[in-house]
Amino acid sequence: MIPADDKNKRIVIKIGSSSLTSRHGEISRRKLEKLSDEVVLLKDEGYEVVLVSSGAVAAGYRKLGLIDRPESLPEKQAAASIGQGLLMEAYSDLFISHGYVASQILITKSDFSDEYRYNNVRNTINVLLERGIIPIVNENDTVTVDRLKFGDNDTLAAKVAGLVEADQLIILSDIDGLYDSDPNTNENAKLLEKVYEITDDIENAAGDSGSEVGTGGMKSKIEAVKIAMAAGISTFLGKASISNILVDAVNEEARGTYFIVNAESKNLNRKKQWIAFNSGPEGELLIDNLVKEAITKQKRGILLSDVLKSKGSFEKGSVITIIDPEGEKVGLGVVNYSANELKNLCRYSAESLKNKAIVVDIEGLVCEIELNSLAGV
């Protein structure tokens, strides 16, 4: 195995529910031991590992007295409250037996949508990694209202990878990679071993997984890969049950799909990642199509006089959406003035505002917006 000094050092690993539980929905000690043993091998070679683990609902619902996986939100949350403890206890026991300490981090969407809390999560995980701890991250399903849905932990893993500036994201599930068509219906389906760009054809080829205990499918995994690649993080997708899958994935020898980031491509920095994938826009700025063309093709800034309409009640520092006359999103950005201040400024004539630019730095669909000083208006 190649030591961390010679390869990627910080690895985020996402493990799906079906890869941790038996067909009866209980925690599979055998599957957990396999996973933890491989994580330990990475740790012994100097890798920093963050584990994003599904399985809380699947592990807990039978202890709740249910025969089948629950459908209602209260029952899912109750099952998660049981399963989180069971899952964490099992992980902790296994890692302690190898001399490593595991920690639990439960995250909700609001932890990522608030920039201050977002940075706090990052700082916490960094301290844990620096001290040799294995952070185990999961969505806080017990209290979450609107995020117990398809593919949450795939997306969460990609966002965590961007948050901690991981070198590689590994997504393990009950499928062994991305195929050019559905292998369940097409015996000639071909495994795509290396992917350099998520094209429309790839997105159209993505199909759901057949697992009964997981909530994610291939579409959610592709969305997660897009987030990771935007952050400059290469991703591997493979089957958890394959022997030595983690070690081989790090060494680029595993069966599966490698989503490879071009080293020369310009990737979103951490600030832009937060704007693009984690913030909750609180307002809108409407621009016309000429301005849209100018900022997307010529990369010029938006003049204050270019803003046709401001919508929403946002404060200074809020994330807003820039939209065109058809209602399509042009970009996202952080505005330096509140909605009321912008409306007051828009009362001035276009001539007096021609040099008052809203500076826009476009990265894909991401804009950082800053209004120049009001002096001299």
CATH of domain 4-267: 3.40.1160.10
Distance, C-alpha 121 to centroid of its chain: 14
pTM: 0.77
Q: Which residues pair with 201 in a beta bridge?
A: none
Q: Chain-wide mean pLDDT for the chain? A: 78
3-class secondary structure, 176: coil
Average pLDDT over residues 60-68: 83
- What pLDDT was estimated at residue 14? 95
Angle at the Cα of 111 from the Cα atoms of 106 and 115, rounded to 5 degrees:
145
CA dihedral 326, 327, 328, 332 (to 10 degrees): 140
232 CB-side CA count, 13 A: 17
> Can you say whether the dihedral through the CA atoms of 168, 171, 172, 175 is positive or negative?
negative
Average pLDDT over residues 296-322: 72
- What pLDDT was estimated at residue 370? 40
Q: In the predicted model, is pLDDT for residue 199 greater than 60?
A: yes
Q: Strand 309-311's sheet: what is its strand order?
A: 302-303, 357-363, 366-371, 329-334, 319-323, 283-286, 309-311
More confident of the two residues 316 and 349 = 316
Nearest alpha-carbon partner for 52 in 167, 162, 136: 136
Average pLDDT over residues 93-111: 91
Residue 132, Ramachandran bin (φ over 0: left; ψ between -120 and 50: alpha; else beta): left
Structure tokens at 362: 């476009």
Q: In the predicted model, is pLDDT for residue 85 greater than 80?
A: yes
Average pLDDT over residues 191-206: 82
CA distance 362 to 300: 9
Q: Which residues pair with 81 in a beta bridge?
A: none
Q: In the predicted model, is pLDDT for residue 352 greater than 70?
A: no
CA distance 369 to 216: 35
153 CB-side CA count, 13 A: 28
- What pLDDT was estimated at residue 2? 67
Give start-end residues of each CATH 3.40.1160.10 domain in the chain. 4-267
Percent of the chain with pLDDT over 70: 74
3-class secondary structure, 249: helix
More confident of the two residues 275 and 135 = 135
DSSP assignment of 289-325, as one string? Answer: HHHHHHHHHS-PPEEGGG--EEES---TT-EEEEE-T
Structure tokens at 376: 């001299």
Q: In the predicted model, is pLDDT for residue 159 greater than 60?
A: yes
Give start-end residues of each CATH 2.30.130.10 domain in the chain. 280-371
Q: Which long-range contacts (CB under 8 A, 24 or more apart) does 163-166 make?
A: 163/112, 163/118, 163/121, 163/122, 163/125, 163/270, 163/273, 164/10, 164/12, 164/50, 164/122, 164/125, 164/126, 164/129, 165/10, 165/231, 165/270, 166/10, 166/11, 166/12, 166/50, 166/233
CA distance 49 to 247: 12
- What pLDDT was estimated at residue 283? 78
pLDDT band at 347 (very low <50, low <70, confident <90, very high): low
CATH of domain 280-371: 2.30.130.10
User: Phi first, then psi: what are they for 159, rounded to 5°?
Assistant: -70, -40
3-class secondary structure, 239: strand
CA distance 50 to 247: 15
Q: In the predicted model, is pLDDT for residue 369 greater than 60?
A: no
More confident of the two residues 137 and 330 = 137
